[in-house]
Structure 1
Amino acid sequence: MDFEYKQYQLLAYLQQINAHFNKTRLYPNLNDLIFHYNNLKKFKQDKTTLEAGFPVRLSSIDMAAVKITYEKIVNDDTMMQEIEQIISYAASKIKPAIKEGQEIYDFVESHLVISEVGMRPLYPNNGYLLLRNGDEKGIRVYEYQVTLFESQHEKYRGIHTTYLTKYERHFIYNTPEAIRKDLIHTRRELPNPAVYQVESDITFPVENTLLPLAKKTLVKTISALN
């Protein structure tokens, strides 16, 4: 539990994260940062709650000031103080990194446009996602399935995608409408699928950035229909 060593480890980790962010690679880095930051906050909150339950003893009484002073019977040892120092330092460094990641997220999201291809089916939770990535040639096709999860307090949706193929971009033949017709013809298991296209006017890393945000955009769009 050496503070300087942990400081070195953290800075090396954040340097790696920053290198990914500089290449607009958001995931899984942004999720990892938020996960670690929330764990740090929870540790501090749990420790504060635990300390509030520790026994205390009367230390002094000032009758003139009507003030009673208590002192803790259980005090932090050296290791706990070192841990608290590490946590405070880590939180102060991770929070700005999360902010940077969120700014990149907002930038990418602002360049995404989602559109519905063809008629909307009665159940839009299963279908195809067409992904166009900036100047890249071709349109990626994914089969998607949106699932509804329920907890005690709320409902939320998850999405699973499977990469199928890539159509070369062609002004006449491989339009989104033509791709939809071809998918219906070649994949009979979805005779009337929901088809959405998400396109970006800037080229982004697909697996680390574009696809995760496209999936989030698709879930939002489908959620708004229900």
Structure 2
Amino acid sequence: MINLNPTWFIEGYVDFELQKYRLLAYLQEINKYFNQNKLYPQLSDVIFHYNNLLAFRNNKKFLQEQFPKRISQIDLQRLEIIYEEMLQDNELMQELELITSFALEELKHTIDSGVQIYEFIEQQIAIEPVGILPLYKNEGYVLLHYQGVTEVKVYVYHITLFEHQAARYKGIRMEYVDSWSKSRFTTYESLKKEIIHTHRMLPNPAVYLVKSRMQVPFQETLLPIAKRMLMRTLSESDSIA
């Protein structure tokens, strides 16, 4: 996959045609993945570049607060110096405006395409509890299953809490545990019992089933969507401590 640095549009010689070529090559590669229903990390990456570029154009510099891991403090200081120099060069700022306007439009179009694919695939995926849920649901198991396929992948999930600049955020971590074979005579409830009996790390876990009617790529699409659907389900039930 072709990667873009956070500062791609001001790297090297600031020229509209040059940066246009660089961006279109990147988006062409992204769309190849989208055409294969491979959404992540490509969709997140395009959204990052869109928000980052929009913030820069709006004279908010870069989204250091929102994306501290993507932009280092050294890069941020360097960019602030470059930005101040650019403000003194009208011709350069006009060229940069052409680049940012074109890039934002192209990035937005690609994001819309990815979101449309995401929403269509999400409609083909259902999430539901397996058996009775305990009161504490911040950790448990997720069964990931393609309809018509015997294999059921089992993941353990943990809700995580972290702080950044006095704000608290919730995330979810999922780790692969095992794979089980399901026949038409096997119920998800019986699989749940086998999993709890075999893996005793959680005595009374919450167990959810994520079932897809579409054969979409697992790592790039089903697993990331499953994480988001599970997080939403847990949030809606007001069960996250």
Q: Distance in 2 between matches of 1:45 and 1:111?
A: 38
Alpha-carbon distance in 2 for matches of 1:135, 1:171: 10
* TM superposition shift of 1:224: 1.5
Distance of 1:154 and 1:196 partners within structure 2: 29
In structure 1, runs of 5+ residues without a counterpart are: 49-73
Residue identity matched to 1:166 = S
Q: Give 2:106's aligned residue.
A: 93
- 1:152 deviates by 6.8
Task: Report how many residues are paired.
Answer: 200
- Residues 1-226 of structure 1 aligned to structure 2 (within 5 Å): 1-46=14-59, 76-149=89-162, 156-173=169-186, 175-226=187-238
Does the CA contact (< 8 Å) of 1:115 and 1:196 recur in 2? yes
Distance 1:100 1:189, change over 3 A: same
Amino acid at match of 1:143: V
Q: Percent identity?
A: 46
Task: State the Cα distance separating 1:156 from its structure 2 match.
Answer: 4.1
* Structure 2 residue identity aligned to 1:181: K
DSSP-derived class of the 2:100 partner: helix
- Find the aligned partners of 2:201 and 2:90 in 1 and give their Cα distance: 64
How far has the Cα of 1:149 moved from its partner? Answer: 4.2
Distance 1:186 1:20, change over 3 A: same
Q: CA deviation at 1:22?
A: 0.4
Distance in 2 between residues matched to 1:29 and 1:153, nearest whole Å: 30
Counterpart amino acid of residue 207 in structure 2: V
| Aligned-residue offset at 1:75 | 5.5
The Cα shift of 1:12 comes to 0.7
Task: Return the alpha-carbon distance in structure 1 between the equivalents of residues 21 and 149 of structure 2.
Answer: 39
Quote the Cα distance in structure 2 between the aligned partners of 1:136 and 1:46.
52
- Tell me if the contact between 1:134 and 1:204 (Cα under 8 Å) persists in the aligned partners: no
SS of aligned partner of 1:140 = strand
Aligned-partner Cα distance in 1 for 2:201–2:60: 54
Shift of 1:164: 1.1
**Distance across 1 between alignment mates of 2:210 and 2:21:** 41
TM normalised by structure 1 equals 0.82
CA–CA distance in structure 2, aligned partners of residues 6 and 111 of structure 1: 38
Do the aligned residues in 2 keep the contact of 1:146 with 1:158 (CA within 8 Å)? Answer: yes
Question: Which one has a bigger Cα radius of gyration?
Answer: 1
CA contact (8 A) 1:142 1:163 kept: yes
Equivalent position amino acid for 1:188 in 2: R
Please name the residue that 1:57 is paired with.
Answer: none
Larger fraction in strand = 1
Cα RMSD after superposing both structures:
1.9
TM-score (norm 2): 0.77
Specify whether residues 14 and 177 from structure 1 end up closer, same or farther in structure 2 by C-alpha distance, changes over 3 A only. Answer: same
Gaps of 5+ in 2: 1-13, 62-86
What SS class does the counterpart of residue 40 from structure 2 fall into? coil
1:153 is displaced (CA, Å) by: 8.4
- 1:67-120 deviation digits (Å, cap 9, x = unpaired): xxxxxxx76432222222111111111111000011011101111111111221
After superposition, what is the alpha-carbon deviation per residue over 1:10-59, rounded to whole angstroms, capped at 9, x for unaligned?
Answer: 111111011000011111111111100001110111179xxxxxxxxxxx
The CA distance in 1 between the partners of 2:15 and 2:206, in whole Å, is 55
